[in-house]
């Protein structure tokens, strides 16, 4: 006997040889199985399904709360960044004004110092120039006098040499 025939024989023997067994046989075990199914359903509902739903809902609330908190923190960060940028711009503007003021002040002071030194140099130049001109005039007069004396000496020597 092959395997298929054996399984048919077992089925026929279990039903008293009445032919094909019914596909769905409703008897007392059906109600017991239904009761066991409902007890298992209630037990699984209490032990697994409701805790899972609570956990899922808590997780959903947590992520929703975290998302809202993240949005709030992001808005706060943006506000802090904007405040920082405004303060930075204000400080930079004040520093730039101070730099311009110091530059102008230093430039003015340097220009004044330059003008004072220029005036002092021009004054010194003028006094030195007039001193040099005065000395040059004195030297010219001295040279003229010396030239006249030398001319007289040469004339006397020439006249003495010719007269002799």
Model confidence over 15-24: pLDDT tens digits? 555 556 666 6
Give me the phi and psi of 25, to 5 degrees please: -110, 110
CA dihedral sign of residues 152, 153, 156, 162: negative
Instruction: Give the CA distances from residue 46 to residues 43, 60, 88, in Å, rounded to whole numbers and listed in that order.
Output: 5, 21, 61
Query: Residue 104's Cα: distance from chain center in Å?
Result: 31
Put simply, whether the predicted model's pTM sits higher than 0.85 gets the answer no
Asked whether the predicted pLDDT for residue 158 surpasses 70, the reply is yes
CA–CA distances in Å: residue 79 to residues 48, 70, 71, 110: 46, 14, 12, 46
Q: Record the tokens describing residue 75, joined without a space.
A: 């808005």
- Which pair of structure tokens corresponds to residue 63? 């992520």
Q: How far apart are CA 58 and CA 52, in angstroms?
A: 10
Angstrom distance (rounded) from CA 7 to CA 13? 10
Mean pLDDT value across the chain:
84
pLDDT given for residue 143 in this prediction: 87
Tell me the C-alpha distance between 10 and 1, whole Å: 12
Residue carrying the six token digits 């004396």: 149
User: What integer is the mean pLDDT of 129-136?
Assistant: 88
Chain segment 45-104, per-residue pLDDT in tens:
999 999 999 999 988 887 887 788 888 889 999 999 999 999 999 999 999 999 999 999
């Amino acid at each position: 006997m092959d395997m298929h025939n054996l399984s048919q024989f077992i089925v026929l023997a279990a039903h008293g040889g009445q032919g094909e067994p019914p596909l769905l046989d409703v008897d007392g075990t059906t109600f017991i199985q239904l009761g066991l199914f409902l007890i298992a359903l209630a037990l699984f509902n209490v032990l697994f399904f409701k805790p899972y739903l609570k956990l899922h809902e808590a997780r959903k609330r947590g992520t929703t709360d975290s998302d809202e908190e993240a949005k709030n923190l992001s808005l706060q960060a943006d506000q802090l960044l904007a405040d920082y940028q405004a303060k930075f711009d204000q400080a930079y503007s004040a520093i730039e004004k101070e730099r311009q003021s110091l530059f102008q002040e230093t430039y003015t002071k340097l220009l004044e110092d330059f003008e004072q030194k220029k005036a002092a140099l021009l004054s010194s130049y003028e006094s030195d120039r007039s001193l040099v001109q005065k000395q040059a005039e004195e030297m010219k007069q001295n040279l003229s006098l010396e030239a006249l004396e030398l001319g007289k000496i040469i004339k006397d020597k020439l006249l003495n040499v010719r007269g002799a």
